[in-house]
Homo-oligomer: A and B are copies of this chain.
Amino acid sequence: MTFYGGLSAEHLKQFIERLERIEEEKSGLADDTKMVFAEAKSGGFDTKTIKEVLKHRKLDKNTIDEQEHLLGAYKRALGMLPELDKEGQLWKTLS
């Protein structure tokens, strides 16, 4: 095995190749995406709108409660709601 300034050429080569393989697959998927959009378009759909729908579904999926959460944070910052502790639980003084 050959070393260059203390690094192993063989290992480096393998990392590079793995990354390039993944990159190729990503590129393939990008092509797939383009194909689907082309089909949809020729089927009379508006691709821009489809993209918006995808975005919204993603938002809905990932942050379904986030709007609520943001609103809560806002109100909490203004003292309109009771505060939460570190665990996200209602903080309550035991007197």
Contact = CB atoms under 8 A, between A and B. Distances in A.
Interface in A1-55: 2-9, 11-13, 15-16, 18-20, 22-23, 25-26, 29-30, 32-33, 36-37, 39-40, 43-46, 48-50, 52-55
15 contacts: A2-B77, A7-B45, A7-B77, A12-B45, A13-B78, A15-B40, A16-B53, A18-B36, A22-B36, A45-B77, A49-B67, A50-B77, A52-B70, A52-B71, A56-B80
A53 B74 contact: yes
A55 B5 CA distance: 22
A25 B9 CA distance: 31
Contacts of A23: 54
B80 A19 contact: no
Given A16-B54, A50-B74, 19 more contacts: A3-B79, A4-B78, A5-B82, A7-B78, A12-B74, A13-B77, A15-B39, A15-B40, A22-B32, A46-B74, A48-B67, A49-B73, A49-B76, A52-B70, A53-B71, A53-B74, A53-B78, A57-B80, A60-B80
